[in-house]
């Protein structure tokens, strides 16, 4: 393809693709697939599995309801400190200035804006997502005058060549693909040797939680997004009622068959971690709390993993896990490409 004038600087996305992007409404062939430029976003014509298509619709709906401001932004930043303690302060070491950064499953861009902050101005940021949520990401980046390029595509079908990125950022995403193992392997191929990948995935839950998750998820699968959102409200109200009690209980001894350890625990947390997820956070509105439950229960692709599985899949993908953290809800890891 003929290059544009040397006086016009290519965008990071054009550099990575080694192609000039089409004008609005125009199309381009990349790795044998057709992409169209619409609303400033490069979008694929790909078809997806039924579960991925359902996930795509779920997050298009969810992110259309959310705004990155006030309590929501504070919640996102606090989430990172809980699951990646201290790493936000080290972001310039994870992705030094000039790094090519892939936000794999960027959603509305909240995670990147909360994690990278002003450092986004120092890197070549590419946000990729299967859903139209990345339209909100592009808008959020524009509103904050942050540079970024966006591609609407499945994470397993991205149009980039191997060794294209220095850092891949994918917290809370891989469990929503058809296979955590396969998605991790394909993303790892996009890293340069020595490149890093930061992930967070759902952790395997105790047996009654796993049962309740499947039961509720299968029920919601029969409903529209609006109906599912409404159906979750009683569950969210239960979480709110339990949380407002603010009482602790003493579990007198381990209950191995249910995965419940002995010790003192808040009643809402006991129900949340071991019986049924009933989200509660006193800094968030009821609707925002209901969105958290929707985020958990609505996607059909919502795989849970063990730390041992994550470590094994990283090894198979040619990644060395350099740091990890396991909490009741998930597994965080920083891995380096060999």
> Tens of pLDDT along 61-89?
887 777 666 666 788 889 999 999 999 99
Residue pair 166/100 in contact (Cβ under 8 Å)? The answer is: yes
- What is the mean predicted confidence (pLDDT) over 99-126? 96
Which among 259, 67, 37 has a CA at the least distance from the CA of 150? 37
- Whose tokens are 């958290």? That residue is 292
User: In whole angstroms, how far apart are CA 2 and each of 32, 36, 84?
Assistant: 18, 18, 44
Reply yes or no on whether the pLDDT at 200 is more than 70: yes
φ, ψ (nearest 5 deg) of residue 72: -65, -45
- 141 membership: H or E segment, kind and range: helix 133-143
Question: Taking each helix axis from N to C terminus, what angle separates 233-245 and 267-274, rounded to the nearest 10 degrees?
Answer: 140
Residue 1 has which token pair?
């393809």
φ, ψ (nearest 5 deg) of residue 273: -80, -30
Radius of gyration of the chain (CA): 20
> Tens of pLDDT along 282-304?
988 899 999 999 999 999 999 99
Which residues share a beta bridge with 10? none
Entry pTM? 0.93
Which among 280, 63, 80, 68 has a CA at the least distance from the CA of 171? 80
Q: Residue 303: helix, strand or coil by DSSP?
A: coil
> Tens of pLDDT along 145-193?
999 999 999 999 999 999 999 999 999 999 999 999 999 999 999 999 9
> Tens of pLDDT along 243-259?
999 999 999 999 999 99
Residue 216 has which token pair?
């509720």
Start-to-end C-alpha separation, the chain: 34
Which among 28, 31, 47, 38 has a CA at the least distance from the CA of 186? 31
Instruction: Give the count of alpha carbons within 13 A of 204, CB side only.
Output: 9
> Tens of pLDDT along 204-238?
999 999 999 999 999 999 999 999 999 999 999 99
> Cβ contacts of residue 232 below 8 Å, gap of 6+?
220, 290, 293, 294, 297
The stretches of the chain forming alpha helices (DSSP H) are: 12-17, 50-64, 71-83, 91-94, 110-116, 133-143, 180-188, 207-220, 225-231, 233-245, 267-274, 286-297, 307-316
């Amino acid at each position: 393809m003929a290059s544009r004038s040397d006086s016009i600087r290519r965008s990071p996305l054009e550099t990575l693709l080694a192609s000039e992007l089409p004008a609005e409404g125009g199309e381009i062939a990349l790795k044998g697939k057709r992409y169209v430029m619409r609303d400033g976003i490069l979008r694929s014509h790909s078809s997806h599995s039924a579960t991925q298509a359902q996930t795509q619709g779920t997050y298009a709906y969810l992110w259309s309801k959310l705004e990155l401001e006030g309590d929501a932004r504070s919640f996102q930043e606090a989430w990172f400190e809980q699951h990646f303690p201290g790493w936000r302060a080290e972001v310039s070491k994870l992705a030094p200035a000039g790094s090519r950064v892939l936000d794999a499953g960027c959603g509305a861009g909240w995670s990147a804006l909360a994690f990278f902050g002003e450092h986004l101005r120092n890197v070549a940021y590419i946000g990729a997502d299967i859903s139209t949520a990345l339209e909100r990401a592009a808008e959020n980046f524009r509103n904050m005058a942050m540079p970024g390029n966006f591609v609407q595509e499945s994470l397993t079908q991205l149009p980039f060549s191997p060794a294209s990125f220095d850092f891949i950022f994918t917290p809370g995403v891989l469990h929503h693909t058809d296979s955590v193992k396969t998605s991790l392997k394909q993303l790892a191929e996009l890293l340069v040797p020595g490149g890093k990948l930061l992930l967070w995935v759902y952790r395997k839950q105790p047996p009654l939680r796993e049962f309740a998750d499947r039961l509720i998820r299968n029920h919601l699968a029969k409903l529209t997004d609006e109906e599912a959102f409404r159906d979750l409200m009683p569950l969210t109200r239960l979480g709110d009622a339990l949380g407002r009690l603010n009482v602790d209980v003493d579990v007198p001894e381990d209950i191995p068959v249910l995965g419940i350890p002995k010790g003192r625990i808040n009643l809402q947390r006991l129900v949340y971690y071991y019986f049924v997820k009933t989200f509660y956070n006193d800094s968030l509105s009821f609707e925002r709390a209901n969105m958290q439950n929707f985020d958990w229960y609505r996607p059909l692709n919502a795989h849970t993993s063990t730390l041992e599985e994550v470590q094994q899949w990283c090894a198979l993908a040619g990644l060395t896990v350099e740091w990890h953290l396991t909490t009741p809800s998930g597994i965080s890891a920083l891995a380096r490409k060999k």
